[in-house]
Structure 1
Amino acid sequence: MIGVKDQNDRRDSWHHGGWIGKMIIWFLLIVLMFFMPNVIVDIYGILSKFGAGLFLLVQVILLLDFTYTWNDAWVEKDEHKWYMALLAVSVGCYIAAFTLSGILFIWFNPSGQDCGLNVFFIVMTMILAFAFAVIALHPKVNGSLLPASVISVYCAYVCYTGLSSEPRDYICNGLHNKSKAVSTSTLILGLITTVLSVLYSAVRAGSSKAFLSPPSSPRAGATSPLLSPDDPEAGEKKDSEFRPVSYSYTFFHLIFALASMYSAMLLSGWTSSSDSADLIDVGWASVWVKICTEWVTAGLYIWSLLAPILMPDREFFS
């Protein structure tokens, strides 16, 4: 699908049709994997770690884009009720973020136990949430509280998923008595999040004009007909006219490929077989991946606020 810019391209029909052939190939690939040597699976596991990391990064970027778009849509209405709605949602998100952080202290810091690592993760999440608000509301930044509050809730949720992935025999994991329920709910929620992220990524791929759309795609109405509608040859030329595709097919398939890698890592515990091999998405590898995702999210959000100040000569697009 690389380089497909015209709907008259033969590969455009491959992208939209041929479902019977695609299903046959998909089935044959599944059967073929049972006969592949283990080294092939190991290589794919290594590649999937990087692919899954890229997918998590895409999720973070799309989340930031969503929060800014949401905020701008309500601010552009320039009405008192929408400003009050922004304030109400922002306060509600911050209450949810700090409430969840407080619950994490109860679940993952049992009394009488030395759980310094868990306390560090939770306190850092609360500090980041407070820092988001301070930086966003600074006069020089001229930010908004809504994106800061949404990112704070997301960071608190990621912190929870990270701590819940700790080995069930770890003394500081207060959910060890509910291992089956927690692992199942985490798996279901993770898969739902993955599906929604993939669908939203595909939608964004079709709506973006600056980054994801084919560079040669003209805007609607920008081209003029080659022949007059009354010309008898107009009907023959109509099918040969350039019809740009509405989104980047390459990005579309890339997102699905990265999502499949993320799903593989979710199901295999990031290929870590030393911790709770009988449970899904449990082990220290999963813990650190999710905690690092939280920190990367925080770093990208803070950078989105400070970049226009640190580099005033550059033009930044929302």
Structure 2
Amino acid sequence: MDMESGTSTTATAAATTTKKKYPGIQDGTWFAQFRYGSNPWMARYVYGLIFLITNFLAWAVRDYGKGAMKEIGRLKGCKVGVDCLGTEGVLRVSMGCFMFFFAMFLSTFGTSKVHDRRDTWHSGWWSAKASMFVVFMILPFLLPTSIVEMYGEIAHFGAGIFLLIQLVSVISFIFWINDWCQSEKYAERCRVHVMLTATSAYIVSIVGIIMMYIWYAPETSCLLNIFYITWTLVLLQLMTSVSLQPRINAGFLTPGLMGLYIVFLCWCAIRSEPPGTKCNRKAEASPRTDWLTIISFVVALLTIVIATFSTGVDSQCFQFWKREKQSDDEVPYGYGFFHFVFATGAMYFAMLLIGWNTHHAMKKWTIDVGWTSTWVRVVNEWLAACVYIWMLVAPVILKSRQAGEFP
């Protein structure tokens, strides 16, 4: 459930002021606007395309890199091409992508005004950035294996940061929907829609839990899967109970949507279990690759890109205070945060393609498979529930402390 939370909260308002901030942008096709080189809303799509191409390049190196072994073997950091294929090849591509976006992060961090030259650097200078990207993609293939392996260990941490940022972004989006529906302007109009949405969310969540019991816990010996699914049901009940507490009174919409999210994470966790186990019949090993597997893989890669893209423009969910109004000369979104998310996203897609294990050989057309992947998803689900409950309880605790109810 990777939601485009950033664009829904900021894009609409920003679209009305883009022409004022960037007078060079004229009406016309997106390509005509992009040629001006000063439209940050167009620039983000270019960065997203670069990230997508890098994802597919990492996959190609992993699954079909043997055909280029002779050419790759000439590179200094590759021993007859072996060190630049498979898992290590993915890490090298990921490292190049990370260096590019981290360099962009360092060069755009703190940009707040459209008159800042760094604003033009973020939205233009594409020839220079294309050259920089190519250099950064080639450089990791010249490095020794020890440095690449060190990067692989660091990438575990960076991917975890990405998951945490994405988690907070999704939860903030859910709260934003609830606040929007409860506002004075839309409360009366949204009452029925909120009730139907919340009811549907709970129904889908319960049905999803039942189906996971049927598919992934067919026998009583599948204790681990039974634990995952049952604990997800407990978390759903816990989030609902906390949300309905009189002092919190958050309603049914937010816990219903969060229920969908954690059920989805639980399903992803179980789906990541290695194939061939008796408790995971949906992931049984197959000697051939069918069209459904290929489509699922492509959709998974596109989902990574969309999740990174949508999270990158949602820097407002990490602000510790709300700003009433954005002045006309401020940038439409945080450039530094945007590139930082893409930098950690580069580490994240590497972990998915190697199953979070630098010594793990992945089957063709597979992604995020292995016990390490399973536990990462499970912990992410539990953390999501904890963050959601804390975001409900924290305002009440802080308010009580200010009122002197707690020492």
TM range (shorter): 0.7 to 0.9
TM-score relative to the length of structure 1? 0.82
Partner of 1:104: 212
Match of 2:79 in 1: none
- CA gap of 1:165–1:61, structure 2 versus 1, over 3 A, is same
How far the C-alpha of 1:171 sits from its partner, in A, is 2.2
Match of 1:302? Answer: 389
Worse-matched range after superposition: 57-66 or 290-299? 57-66
Question: Which of 77, 83, 106 is 2:191 aligned to?
Answer: 83
Aligned-residue identity in percent = 32
Moved more, 40-49 or 297-306: 40-49
Q: CA deviation at 1:200?
A: 2.2
Select which of 216, 223, 229 maps to 1:116. Answer: 223
Which residue type is aligned with residue 170 of structure 2? L
- 1:290 maps to what in 2? 377
For 2:193, the aligned partner's letter is A
Equivalent residue number for residue 270 of structure 1: 356
1:247 aligns to what? 333
CA deviation after TM superposition for structure 1 residue 188, in Å: 3.5
Q: What CA RMSD, in Å, does the superposition of the two structures yield over aligned residues? A: 2.8
The answer to whether the Cα contact below 8 Å between 2:353 and 2:362 also exists between their aligned partners in 1 is no
Matched residue, 1:235: none
Evaluate the alpha carbon distance shift between residue 130 and residue 42 of structure 1 in structure 2; reply closer, same or farther with a 3 A threshold.
same
Task: Indicate the residue corresponding to 1:71 in structure 2.
Answer: 178
Query: Match for 1:107: what amino acid?
Result: W
Specify which of 358, 367, 371 is matched with residue 280 of structure 1. 367
Larger deviation: 121-130 or 39-48?
Answer: 39-48
Q: Quick one: distance in 2 between partners of 1:249 and 1:314?
A: 36
Point out the more displaced range, 129-138 or 185-194.
185-194
How many aligned positions are there?
A: 290
* 2:109–2:337 CA contact under 8 A, matched in 1: no
Change (3 A) 1:276 1:203: closer
Q: Deviations over 1:180-202 (max 9, x none)?
A: 56764554343333222223223
Letter in 2 for 1:196: I
Cα distance in structure 2, aligned partners of 1:161 and 1:7: 41
Mapped to 1, the partners of 2:319 and 2:224 lie a distance apart of 42
Contact 1:71 1:146 in 2 (8 A): yes
- Equivalent residue in structure 1 for 2:236, among 126, 129, 135: 129
Alpha-carbon spacing, 1:203–1:249, altered in 2? closer, same or farther (3 Å): closer
Q: Separation in 2 of the partners of 1:300 and 1:79?
A: 26
Q: 1:230 corresponds to which residue?
A: none
Q: Which stretch of structure 1 is more off in the superposition, 295-304 or 25-34?
A: 25-34
Which amino acid is 2:182 matched to?
V
Q: Distance in 2 between matches of 1:50 and 1:92?
A: 36
Moved more, 243-252 or 274-283: 274-283
For 1:137-190, what per-residue CA distance to the aligned partner results, in whole angstroms no more than 9, with x for missing partners?
Answer: 121221121110111011001111110110113221111336656764554343
C-alpha separation in 2, matches of 1:139 and 1:155: 24
Aligned to 1:177: 284
1:165 corresponding residue in structure 2: 272
Structure 2 SS opposite 1:311: helix
How far apart are the structure 1 equivalents of 2:123 and 2:160?
A: 28
> Residues 130, 10 of structure 1: CA spacing in aligned structure 2 closer, same or farther, 3 A cutoff?
same
Question: Residue 259 of structure 1 aligns with which residue?
Answer: 345
TM-superposition CA deviations, 1:255-306 (whole Å, max 9, x none): 1111111111111111343475554211011000000000000000111112
The structure having more radius of gyration, on CA atoms, is 1
More deviation in 147-156 or 23-32? 23-32
Amino acid at match of 2:394: A
Q: Quick one: which of 20, 44, 47 aligns to 2:154?
A: 47
Query: For residue 204 of structure 1, what is the aligned residue in structure 2?
Result: 314
1:27 maps to: 134
Deviation at 1:62, TM superposition (A): 0.9
Tell me, in whole angstroms, the C-alpha distance in 1 between the residues paired with 2:121 and 2:188.
50
145-154 or 129-138: bigger deviation: 129-138
Pick which of 35-44 and 50-59 moved more.
Answer: 35-44
1:74 counterpart letter in structure 2: C
What is the distance in 2 between the residues matched to 1:157 and 1:59? Answer: 14
Q: Say whether the 8 Å CA contact 1:122–1:159 is kept in structure 2.
A: yes
Instruction: Mark the runs of 5 or more structure 2 residues left unpaired by the alignment.
Output: 1-107, 403-407
Q: Give per-residue Cα distances to partners, 1:219-277, cap 9 Å, x unaligned.
A: 527xxxxxxxxxxxxxxxxxxxxx44333221111011111111111111113434755
What SS does structure 1 have at the residue aligned with 2:274? coil
Q: 2: distance between equivalents of 1:293 and 1:121?
A: 12
Partner of 2:47: none
> What SS does the corresponding residue of 1:175 show, helix, strand or coil?
helix
Alpha-carbon distance in structure 2 between the residues aligned to 1:110 and 1:208: 41
Counterparts in 2 of 1:314 and 1:191: CA distance versus 1, 3 Å? farther
Does 1:94 pair with 2:169?
no
Greater shift, 33-42 or 66-75, is seen at 33-42
Equivalent residues of 2:152, 2:358 under 8 A apart:
no
